[in-house]
Amino acid sequence: MTIDLPTVLRQLYALTPRGITLGLDRVLDAARRLGDIHRFSAYAHIAGTNGKGSTAAFLATMGRAAGARVGLYTSPHLCRFAERIQIDGHPIPDDLLAHCLSEAIKAGPDLSFFEVATLAAFLAFRICGVNFPVLEVGLGGRLDATNIAEGHAVPIITRIAFDHMEILGPTLRHIAREKAGILRPSTTAIVGRLHPDALETVQQVAQSLGATVYEATGPEEQHYLNSYPPSLPGPFQRQNALCAVAAARVFHLPPQAIIQGLSETRWPGRCELLETSEGYVLLDCAHNPDGALALKNALISLVMSIPRRHIALIFGAMADKNWRAMLDRMGSLAGHRVYVAPPGGRTPADPIALQGHLAGEVALSPAEALSMARRKVGRSGLVIVTGSTCLVGPLRAQILGLSMDPQVGL
């Protein structure tokens, strides 16, 4: 009997009211029922406030260049759910996705949306013979569903900043301890440039496990980037690339594969510049103050040559994010601002409240926001879209004529 993907996706999306469920026991039991699909010979596991997806994309491309069978699991998706589970650089086929989601739902009928998605990814990796799994943590690390993975781990922590404090804790030390929960005994953990408090906490966790912390800022990593600048634009991507290079060296990937990964990686929606018939649109999934600051720094050199009156910012965020700080960081880059509520299952910040914090206009939909922003700056101007993946995804689909699955911030 053929399993219908739209039907299975409806079953999956029906789980979204369960929200975020942290804990490993139930999802681990389901993974065992599916044949211990959480066991890998080796795997990369990536946590961090920002930069996880880009680092994962760099490392996955390096693995493919080395000839490995690469499985990449990330979240959330931009346009189609299948983007979350990729085999050798491509979203898995609809029939395989439908099968894996159906089996995961049957194995864990009480699980959450993200837990089912994680099991489906692990099952797909087993079926496709993946030997180089790259796993992105969904939230935190210690109690995230991806943390049921077993095998020789290469943990990576890209960056630690303030986000999800209501779940992870109020200080960088609290947040760092949760993210350091992906460390394993007697392994080498790769870390990006961390605040001293966060770095000290990660080192303490590592010491208790007999693990080693390696800061991805050494001369070997720098040499690669100086000689082969990463393909993803923005200063912040250099740090993500450094983490990927350091991890690739732990995996003993050949230098040529690392070089190829640096030059060939693509990761949509991250400082992505699209040329449309109406003008240029820049998309970035910055969804917290740290990400907004990184985007601002990436844009400074670009927008210096563009008058502010020729730049429009389309901004929409979720209500649980510190959107005030995000607007404070990057709102001044644009001469025009258009606010809109991102579609999706979670509660968006009220565009009227955004307008009250920093003057701008309000649109009723992402499509209307794009039209309003373009009228403000004309064909020669730049439209910047940011604030939430749930805003970037639908507008990217509209611009490129892509199919779209419902957005969900899980």
Q: Are residues 22 and 142 in the same domain?
A: yes
Which pLDDT belongs to residue 299?
87
Which pLDDT belongs to residue 84?
98
In a domain, 409, yes or no: no
Tens of pLDDT, residues 272-331: 999 999 999 999 999 999 999 999 988 887 767 888 999 999 999 999 999 999 999 998
Distance separating alpha carbons of residues 340 and 351, to the nearest angstrom: 5
In a domain, 408, yes or no: no
In a domain, 116, yes or no: yes
Write the single-letter amino acid at 112: S
Give me the sign of the Cα torsion angle 143, 145, 148, 151. negative
Q: Are residues 223 and 184 in the same domain?
A: yes
Residue 71, token pair as written in the block? 């499985």
In a domain, 15, yes or no: yes
SS3 408: coil
User: Which pTM was predicted?
Assistant: 0.94
Which pLDDT belongs to residue 46?
98
Q: Which helix (H) or strand (E) holds 37?
A: none
Distance separating alpha carbons of residues 154 and 44, to the nearest angstrom: 5
- Side by side, the strands of the sheet bearing 70-73 are 90-91, 85-87, 70-73, 132-136, 39-47, 150-157, 188-191, 212-215
In a domain, 357, yes or no: yes
In a domain, 407, yes or no: no
Q: Are residues 168 and 221 in the same domain?
A: yes
Picking from 65, 59, 42, the residue whose alpha carbon sits closest to that of residue 245 is 59
Q: Are residues 171 and 79 in the same domain?
A: yes
In a domain, 143, yes or no: yes
Could you give phi then psi for residue 181, rounded to 5 degrees?
-65, -10
Distance separating alpha carbons of residues 149 and 44, to the nearest angstrom: 10
Q: Are residues 307 and 218 in the same domain?
A: no
Which CATH number does the domain housing residue 306 bear? Answer: 3.90.190.20
Could you give phi then psi for residue 271, rounded to 5 degrees?
50, 45
Residue 161, token pair as written in the block? 């900043």
Distance of CA 75 to the CA centre of its chain: 6
Of 246, 264, 282, the position where a domain reaches its end is 264
Could you give phi then psi for residue 176, rounded to 5 degrees?
-65, -40
Q: Are residues 66 and 196 in the same domain?
A: yes
Distance separating alpha carbons of residues 103 and 133, to the nearest angstrom: 20
Which pLDDT belongs to residue 233?
87
Residue 276, number of CB atoms within 10 A of its CB: 13
In a domain, 198, yes or no: yes
Q: Are residues 180 and 281 in the same domain?
A: no
Q: Give the CA angle between residues 45, 48, 49 to the nearest 5°.
A: 150
Dihedral-angle region of residue 78 (phi above 0 means left; psi in -120 to 50 means alpha; beta otherwise): alpha
| DSSP letters for 168-192 | H-SSHHHHHHHHGGG--TT-EEEE-
Of 208, 240, 264, the position where a domain reaches its end is 264
How many residues make up the chain in this entry? 410
Find tokens 């258009």 and name the residue.
338
Return the bridge partners of 213, or none.
Answer: 189
Stretches where the chain sits below pLDDT 50 are none
Tens of pLDDT, residues 33-46: 999 999 999 999 99
Dihedral-angle region of residue 271 (phi above 0 means left; psi in -120 to 50 means alpha; beta otherwise): left
Of 228, 245, 264, the position where a domain reaches its end is 264
Structural domain range at position 312 = 272-400
Residue 40, number of CB atoms within 10 A of its CB: 22
Q: Are residues 175 and 223 in the same domain?
A: yes
Tally of domains in the chain: 2
Which pLDDT belongs to residue 143?
96
Distance separating alpha carbons of residues 381 and 161, to the nearest angstrom: 33
Asked whether 20 and 114 are in contact (CB, 8 A), the reply is yes
Q: Are residues 184 and 235 in the same domain?
A: yes
Q: Are residues 232 and 114 in the same domain?
A: yes
Q: Are residues 162 and 66 in the same domain?
A: yes
Which CATH number does the domain housing residue 39 bear? Answer: 3.40.1190.10
Which pLDDT belongs to residue 166?
86
Q: Are residues 159 and 279 in the same domain?
A: no
Residue 13, token pair as written in the block? 């999306």
Residue 177, token pair as written in the block? 């301890």
Distance separating alpha carbons of residues 233 and 244, to the nearest angstrom: 15
